[in-house]
Amino acid sequence: MIYIIGLLVGILNGLFASGAGQVLVFYLIFILKKETHMARALSVAILSISSIFAIFGYSKVVDLQINNIVTLIIIAIISGFIGTNLMKKIPANILNLMSGILIVSLTIYKMVTGGI
């Protein structure tokens, strides 16, 4: 089952470049009963690899500017360290609540703006 979820998450990440992490985190926490912090760390690790491969697919369709990519990678590394350090200090139930609120808010926003 984990391989099927991994395949689904990789496809979602390649298609939408977002949201796949929430699918994986939900599966790890609520189906496999993994600890929240570990599930989020595993999700980031898996999606980092998936994102690297997605870059190759997108590079055939859009003109990627290397300067922008390098700048964004640097920003992502710095903000990733900050986010990881913050996550370690937040209890699991609060992290799950924050994720739920974020997903519901984004869904409502997309529905109101016609994005869905």
User: What pLDDT, on the 0 to 100 scale, is given for residue 16?
Assistant: 57
What CA–CA distance (Å, rounded) separates 62 from 54?
12
Per residue in 47-98, pLDDT (tens digit) is 888 778 878 887 888 888 888 888 888 888 888 888 888 888 999 999 888 8
Residue among 80, 82, 95 nearest 25 (CA): 95
Q: What's the domain count of the chain?
A: 1
0.85 cut: is pTM over it? no
The residue segments making up the domain with residue 108 are 2-113
Q: Residue 66 and residue 37: Cα distance in Å, rounded? A: 33
